[in-house]
């Protein structure tokens, strides 16, 4: 299958999810490592995450030198064990489109030569693929890094999302 053919199929598949496209200049200045505290701490009951691939979307707010920014994210259960949770920002690190969680691996096989038997995050704009089982690492496409991670704490009955990887400022500035 040619790349253009795959692109066409991917675009039609992702249209199902109602994706839009917006292209924003990526900042060139690198920032320090670590996490930045969010304006709003987000709380979710642990009961929302009973089995692998249970997922909850959220919006977080972050103060930046350019003003407050809204960051879309997801909390995701990546394995059945107790600690198997991840939190990713769903803003594509390439050019700020919204990536989407695609759980249908059969549909996924039709749009990429990269065969994996598990859900992935897919960007509809230039078709970068991100692996939630490997900390959101990019596995295909033009993105130069993986998804930005949110920091979170797991208490007895709740999960608190508290921060975002500081390097996200490179993208937002």
What is the contact surface with ligand FES in residues (CB under 6 A)? 92, 94-95, 97, 123, 125-126, 128, 141-143
State CA 140 to chain mean position distance.
Answer: 14
CB of 110 to ligand FES, least distance (A): 18
Using DSSP's 3-state secondary structure scheme, residue 140 falls into: strand
Q: ∠123-128-131 over CA atoms, to 5°?
A: 95
- We find the least distance from the C-beta atom of residue 23 to ligand FES, in angstroms, to be 7
CB 146 within 8 A of CB 132: no
Q: Which is nearer to ligand FES, 43 or 114 (CB)?
A: 114
Q: For every residue of 112-139, which 3-state class applies, written as one string?
A: CCCCCCCCEEECCCCCCEEEHHHCCEEE
Considering the complex, state which of residue 85 and residue 122 has its C-beta at the smaller distance from ligand FES: 122
Residue 172 Cβ vs ligand FES, minimum distance, rounded to whole Å: 14
Q: Which is nearer to ligand FES, 49 or 127 (CB)?
A: 127
Residue whose CB is less far from ligand FES, 86 or 128: 128
How far is Cα 27 from Cα 57, in angstroms, rounded to an integer? 26
Minimal distance, residue 161 CB to ligand FES, in Å: 23
């Amino acid at each position: 299958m040619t790349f253009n053919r795959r692109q066409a199929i991917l675009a039609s598949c992702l249209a199902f999810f109602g994706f839009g496209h917006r292209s924003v200049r990526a900042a060139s200045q690198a920032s320090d490592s670590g996490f930045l505290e969010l304006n709003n701490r987000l709380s979710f009951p642990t009961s929302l995450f009973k089995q692998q691939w249970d997922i909850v979307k959220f919006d977080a707010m972050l103060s930046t030198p350019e003003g407050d920014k809204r960051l879309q994210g997801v909390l995701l259960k990546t394995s059945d064990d107790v600690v198997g949770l991840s939190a990713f920002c769903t803003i594509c690190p390439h050019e700020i489109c919204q990536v989407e969680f695609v759980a249908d691996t059969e549909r996924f096989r039709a749009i990429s030569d990269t065969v994996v038997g598990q859900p992935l995050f897919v960007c509809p704009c230039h078709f970068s693929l991100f692996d939630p089982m490997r900390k959101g690492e990019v596995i295909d496409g033009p993105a130069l890094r993986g998804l930005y991670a949110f920091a979170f704490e797991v208490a007895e009955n709740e999960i608190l999302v508290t921060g975002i990887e500081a390097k996200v400022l490179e993208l937002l500035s």
